[in-house]
Chain A
């Protein structure tokens, strides 16, 4: 589905001007194969930011990753928002658009967070129908991302791996697999992250996310902050998946305590190393060496 692969970076305001400066200086950022952009930060907007993003788009390919589609929500899709999103995705030439397997609001209110969905068949049926509707409205394939969730609403009739698989089965959606989210949920809920990954339909994965997280004493949980360096076990999960899927786009997300760009690129180098390790193992796997 995606002709983009390798390691990329989530484009953020904090270093947007640095990227543009590097472009102006004729420098290609080491290790950055592409950028992932969040349309809601750039849609319906003029001025400095879109001008800078356009400049970046002249030199790097983009994947689009949304924040407020609320794919599991009950409120009807906002047609103006969807039309604007469609235009943005088209302009970005992203081969697919991703958003989260969650809901973000109810009763016409948008809470700007990734709220957990019930793990039931009715929920999976609802989400699958919404994905199909979103794909029709956006005109591109939709990929859904597994989220970090700190509780499950209500009695579950299936576990999360089965739920994700059922949503994918019932829709034509692809999977944006966030291995940090898997790791965080595994730690918080005490399950085996690798076992979880083994049960996912990895042939549906079109992209990976990696990120850092923080342990919160206040909540007594690991919180998916995107505000710290990645830990090695998360990179190991990334390599494990790449070993089985082969080349994919892998994005480092950093949203809080963003270090200066040179430091972030060093962190990205760790993703590159894990990705290369996964690809090497994939090649051995494909040759039947394993």
Chain B
């Protein structure tokens, strides 16, 4: 590219992207589309050429992109979207304006939206305080359902001084609300109890997503195992952190939990 092209080509691509993403584009295009493009760094010829294409054409991609993203996000967090009501589309609009997707994968966009929006929902009195938890819960289902496949059991005994190998789909989700007990119907508007919740989610052999509600101690142990601690370190550390005595009941309960997870295919055994 020559020097002119080196600035002109990026400016033209930037102009198209601005038509999709910049705030208040509709009003600015309606007021003076040529000025919009010149303010965006285009030369007079390119700005005039774009301006002559007319408002409706210039705004097509803005509408197509936003509608496409809205539909893709709604597919993955349908109950969250339903509970937001008409505000859902406004949140997607804001997301596109202020942040926008980065991933090559359309199925990641709902995750990107929730990561951006959830902290804002938490401080917005118009949004139910459990909504971030519900959105993350819906995304966990999608995440677990499409997580990498894995091999079967490792064939290695999980002993006190070995680390555990979990199925690649296993996730430990923590929420401030019991959103997993909400009615599944998108039209439902029941409100979850505000209680600390730990859920182990995994995908079974039939590709169904399953959940186990965990006690605080079980969650603490699994948290540590998932981080790669040995079984001994995980149990001792979790009990200590929770101020619980490491008695026979804890040990027996841990053994039952791990056996149950192995039966379910969520725990594959000890790591090599």
Q: How far is the CA of A67 from the CA of B10 in the complex (A)?
A: 21
Asked if B53 is at the interface (CB within 8 A of a chain A CB), the reply is yes
Interface residues on B, range: 35 or more
Residue of B nearest to A188 (CB): B57
Asked if A220 is at the interface (CB within 8 A of a chain B CB), the reply is yes
Asked if A122 is at the interface (CB within 8 A of a chain B CB), the reply is yes
Asked if A31 is at the interface (CB within 8 A of a chain B CB), the reply is no
Known: A68-B104, A113-B68, A122-B5. A74 touches B58 (CB 8 A): no
Q: How far is the CA of A118 from the CA of B9 in the complex (A)?
A: 7
Residues of B within 8 A of A289 (CB): none
Residues of B within 8 A of A151 (CB): 50, 53, 57-58, 60
Residues of A within 8 A of B150 (CB): 46
Residue from B13, B21, B61, B106 with most neighbouring chain A CB atoms (10 Å): B13
Residues of A within 8 A of B168 (CB): 46
**Is the CB–CB distance between B17 and A105 below 8 Å?**
yes
Asked if A109 is at the interface (CB within 8 A of a chain B CB), the reply is yes
Question: CB < 8 Å: which of B12, B21, B107, B146 contacts A109?
Answer: B21
Residues of A within 8 A of B129 (CB): none
Asked if B101 is at the interface (CB within 8 A of a chain A CB), the reply is yes
Residues of A within 8 A of B45 (CB): 154-155
Q: Name the interface residues of A95-125: CB closer than 8 Å to any CB of B.
A: 103, 105-113, 115-118, 120, 122-123, 125
Q: How far is the CA of A50 from the CA of B106 in the complex (A)?
A: 16
Asked if B236 is at the interface (CB within 8 A of a chain A CB), the reply is no
**Is the CB–CB distance between B106 and A40 below 8 Å?**
yes
Number of A-B contacts (CB under 8 A): 143
Q: Name the interface residues of B10-63: CB closer than 8 Å to any CB of A.
A: 10, 12-17, 20-21, 42, 45-46, 49-50, 53, 56-58, 60-61, 63
Question: CB < 8 Å: which of B10, B21, B72 contacts A112?
Answer: B72
CB distance from A13 to the nearest CB of B (A): 10
**Is the CB–CB distance between B65 and A219 below 8 Å?**
no
Residues of A within 8 A of B1 (CB): 122, 125-126
Question: CB < 8 Å: which of B20, B65, B104, B207 contacts A47?
Answer: B207
**Is the CB–CB distance between A153 and B50 below 8 Å?**
yes
Q: Interface on chain B toward A: helix, strand, loop, or mixed SS?
A: helix
Residues of B within 8 A of A15 (CB): none
What per-residue 1/0 map shows which CB atoms of B86-107 lie under 8 Å from chain A?
0000000000000011111111
**Is the CB–CB distance between A154 and B8 below 8 Å?**
yes
Asked if B69 is at the interface (CB within 8 A of a chain A CB), the reply is yes
**Is the CB–CB distance between A126 and B104 below 8 Å?**
no
**Is the CB–CB distance between B169 and A47 below 8 Å?**
yes
Known: A113-B61, A150-B60, A219-B56. A46 touches B16 (CB 8 A): no
**Is the CB–CB distance between B102 and A111 below 8 Å?**
no
**Is the CB–CB distance between B56 and A74 below 8 Å?**
no
Residues of A within 8 A of B104 (CB): 40, 68, 78, 81, 110
Q: How far is the CA of A162 from the CA of B8 in the complex (A)?
A: 20
**Is the CB–CB distance between A111 and B17 below 8 Å?**
yes
Q: How far is the CA of A115 from the CA of B10 in the complex (A)?
A: 13
Known: A68-B104, A150-B61, A154-B50. A47 touches B10 (CB 8 A): no
Residues of A within 8 A of B61 (CB): 113, 115, 150
CB distance from A220 to the nearest CB of B (A): 5
Residues of B within 8 A of A137 (CB): none
CB distance from A189 to the nearest CB of B (A): 10
**Is the CB–CB distance between A112 and B69 below 8 Å?**
yes
Q: How far is the CA of A50 from the CA of B145 in the complex (A)?
A: 11
Of all A-B residue pairs in the complex, the 7 with the closest CB atoms, nearest first, are A122-B5, A154-B46, A46-B149, A48-B207, A109-B100, A106-B17, A151-B53
Chain B residues in contact with chain A, CB under 8 A?
1-2, 5, 8-10, 12-17, 20-21, 42, 45-46, 49-50, 53, 56-58, 60-61, 63-65, 68-69, 72, 100-107, 109, 145-150, 168-169, 203, 207
